[in-house]
């Protein structure tokens, strides 16, 4: 794997945070996979070690699981 | 706040993953705060909404809590 892969499933609360994170990472450094739209890639993600989404699988195989600390305001 | 702040505390399991993540983000886009070395910034981090480390506080105020899914190998 030559670049990072960002797996997500369109979580509505997290979408703006995810967009912000990806805005920090140059687009040629990361591929984006929407598991809701591409369910055939769930097996690949699980094999890479993804246990929850959103998650960022790094080029060296490390997996970062990202939790957006949703504010009460977002949940109202 | 004009750029993101990455808060961490030197978690040994996570260090390589954190380094990898930061290697994806241009250094002028993110400030790094080690709360173990700079405990006076813990209050600032808590005020920003950081509940655990590592965490990335984005320029718009969103907080991403990052969990490295530690492998069994790392824990041996």
Instruction: Please give the C-alpha separations between residue A22 and each of A31, B44, B55, in angstroms, as whole numbers.
Output: 10, 24, 15
Distance from CA of B52 to the nearest CA of A (A): 10
What does the pLDDT look like over A1-28, one tens digit per residue? 578 888 888 766 557 767 888 889 988 9
**Which residues have C-beta within 8 Å of that of residue B4, sequence separation ≥ 6?**
A24, B25, B29, B30, B31, B56, B57, B58, B59
**Which residues have C-beta within 8 Å of that of residue A59, sequence separation ≥ 6?**
A1, A2, A3, A4, B20
User: For residue B39, what is the domain's CATH number?
Assistant: 3.40.30.10
ipTM above 0.85, yes or no: no
Domain of A57, in residue numbers: 4-75
- State the total domains in chain A: 1
Distance from CA of A55 to the nearest CA of B (A): 9
B67 interaction partners in chain A (CB closer than 8 Å): 64-67
Between residues B26 and A10, the one the model is more confident about: B26
Instruction: Please give the C-alpha separations between residue B59 and each of A18, A61, B31, B36, B74, in angstroms, as whole numbers.
Output: 13, 28, 11, 23, 32
B63 interaction partners in chain A (CB closer than 8 Å): 68-69
Interface test with chain A among B62, B65, B67, B68, by most A beta carbons within 10 Å: B62
Sign of the Cα torsion B50, A13, A21, A54 reads positive
Counting residues of chain A whose pLDDT is more than 70, the rounded percentage is: 78
Number of Cβ pairs < 8 A linking chain A and chain B? 72
Name the least confident of A12-16, A19-23, A50-54, B39-43.
A12-16
Residue B17's CB: how many other CB atoms inside 10 A? 24
Q: Is the pLDDT of residue B40 over 90?
A: yes
């Amino acid at each position: 794997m030559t670049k990072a892969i960002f797996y997500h499933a369109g979580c509505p609360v997290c979408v703006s945070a995810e967009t912000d994170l990806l805005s920090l990472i140059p687009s040629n450094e990361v591929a984006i996979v929407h598991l809701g739209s591409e369910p055939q890639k769930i097996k690949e993600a699980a094999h890479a070690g993804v246990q929850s989404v959103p998650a960022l699988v790094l080029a060296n195989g490390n997996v970062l699981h990202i939790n957006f600390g949703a504010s009460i305001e977002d949940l109202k």
